[in-house]
Amino acid sequence: MKIVVIGGTGLIGSKTVAILRQGGHEVVAAAPSKGVNSLTGEGLQEAMTGAQVVVDLANSPSFEDKAVLEFFETSGRNVHAAEAATGVRHHVALSIVGADRTPENGYFRGKVAQEKLIAASGIPYTIIRSTQFLEFLRGIADAGTDGNVVRLSPGMFQPIAAEDVAAIVADVALAAPRNGIVEIAGPERAPFNELIARYLKEVGDPREVVCDPEARYFGGLVEAHSLVPLGEARLGRIGLDEWLRRSKAAG
C-alpha cells in the first residue's frame, strides 16, 4: 500500500514512517524539506498519486493564534483538494483530546477548524485525538514557570509517549476509515501539577511546582477533565517512569 505521511520528518511522523516501512508499505515522508509543502500546495498531488492513505501530521511553524488558524485551514484545504484529485481513500489526522473544550487556547481552536474541514471534505477519514506527549513535559513546565516556581492546574493529565502515538497512528492508517474520532492517551492519569512535579524531580530540576487552579495552559483554563478522554480511549504502553528510563538510556 502507498501511504503519504505529511509532516513525515517530525517527531511523530518520522516514527510513523519507520513503522509503516517496516510493515512493507511504500511510504512517502512528505515535508517542505522534501519538496512537499501543504501550506503552499507544492508537490502535494505528485506525492499523493497512487496513494490509498494520507496521514496528516503537519504542524504550524508558528504558535501565534492567527497564524495557527491560518495554517490549519490553508493546509487542510490544500491537502483535501490533492486527495480528491488523486483518489485517496482514507485521510488520517492527529488532533488533541479536549481541543473542543478549551476555546481560549488558540492552538486548540486551530485544531478544531482542521477537524471541521476534514469532516466536510467528503473523503473517508479518521481523526486521532491524542493527549499531550511526554516529550513536551519540559516545555509545559517552562510555559508555567514564574521565577523558580511552576504554577499548574490540578486538572487531570494523561500524557502519552511519542512512540506509542506513532504505533497507533500507523495502526489506524492501515485500518478502515472510521469517519469519526479515536481518542488516545497514556497509561497513567494524575493531576497535572503532580505529574509535572514527578517529572522535574526525576530529571533533577529544582523548580517548585505550585498547585494553582487558575493557572492557564497556553491561554486556556484547565478544568478537572479538560485534557483527558471523557469516554473510551486507546492507551499507550509507556508510562512516565519507563519513558524516563528509556530517555536516560538513549541520552
Q: pLDDT at position 221, please? A: 84
Residues 6+ apart with CB under 8 A from 238: 134, 160, 161, 163, 164, 186, 187, 246
Whole-angstrom CA distances from 210 to 33, 85, 148, 235, 246 are 41, 52, 10, 28, 28
Domain span at residue 75 reads: 2-250
Q: How far apart are CA 107 and CA 12, in angstroms?
A: 18
Whole-angstrom CA distances from 168 to 14, 16, 20, 74 are 14, 9, 11, 26
Rounded to the nearest 5 degrees, what angle is found at the Cα of 172, between the Cα atoms of 167 and 178?
155
Q: How far apart are CA 48 and CA 85, in angstroms?
A: 9
Q: pLDDT at position 61, please? A: 87
Q: pLDDT at position 219, please? A: 82
Predicted structure pTM score = 0.95
Q: What is the mean pLDDT of each run of 10 residues along the chain (251 residues)?
A: 97 98 98 96 97 96 91 97 98 96 89 97 98 96 94 96 98 98 98 96 96 89 92 97 92 71
Cell, residue 151 = 504554577
Query: Domain of 127: which CATH number?
Result: 3.40.50.720
Q: pLDDT at position 103, please? A: 83
For the chain, what is the domain count? 1
